[in-house]
Structures are given as structure tokens and as C-alpha cells.
Amino acid sequence: MERYFQPAVYIMASKPNGTLYTGVTSDLAKRTWQHRSAQIEGFSSRYGCKLLVWFELHSTMENAILREKQVKGGSRRKKIALIEALNPHWQDLYGKICG
């Protein structure tokens, strides 16, 4: 099966209004699964960030990395505003990208 790669910036959460983790990837489905199954050691596994609550697709990895830096540099309030604009009920979006 051929895999399709699409640069993306994403936010994982431990629960609604919980701990947030922002990242960038070229394979959002695979990366989200890695977070969900605690295969990635570090911040996201330590704080249980397993819910995909926001993501944004980009045409190039360069653009995605620039956007990730912008999102990471923003306040928690700005991250919550991004999430709630797309996903007001903090639903896990994993099924939407894998389903």
C-alpha cells in the first residue's frame, strides 16, 4: 500500500483543556498513532497527550515547520482558541484522519 505524506502541524491534548503538545510531521496518522500508543518518549507520553484535538495541513514541510514555531511560540490561550475554532468540543480527531 502506498503511503501519502502531507506536512501537518498538530496539537495533542491529555484531556479537554488539559496539557497540550504541539508538533509537526509529514505523516499525521502515523505520528498520532505513535502518541496514542506512547511510542514516543518525552513530554507527550509523560503527560498523556493522546487526543488529536487540532491539526493544519501544509503544502511544504518548510511551511509546516514555520507554522509549528508560530503556534509553539503563542500563549496557551491562543492554542486553545485555535483548537476551539476547529473543534469546540475537544473531540479526538484521530478517527477523521484514519477513517
Residue with more model confidence, 14 or 5: 14
pLDDT at 94: 94
What is the DSSP secondary structure assignment for residue 54, as one 8-state letter? E
Task: Assess if residue 88 is contained within a domain.
Answer: yes
Which tens digits make up the pLDDT trace of 42-93?
Answer: 888 788 899 999 999 999 999 999 999 999 999 999 999 999 999 999 999 9
Task: Assess if residue 34 is contained within a domain.
Answer: yes
Between CA 52 and CA 66 the distance in angstroms is 20
Task: Assess if residue 56 is contained within a domain.
Answer: yes
b/e string for 11-39 if b means 16 or more Cβ within 10 A? bbbeeeeeebbbbbbeebbebbeebbeee
Distances in Å between the Cα of 78 and the Cα atoms of 43, 47, 90 are 20, 20, 15
Please give the model's pTM, rounded to 2 decimal places.
Answer: 0.92
Which tens digits make up the pLDDT trace of 17-56?
Answer: 999 999 999 999 999 999 988 887 888 878 889 999 999 9
**For the domain that residue 34 is a member of, what is the CATH number?**
3.40.1440.10
Domain count along the chain: 1
Domain of 25, in residue numbers: 8-98
Helix axes 61-73, 76-86, angle to 10 degrees: 120
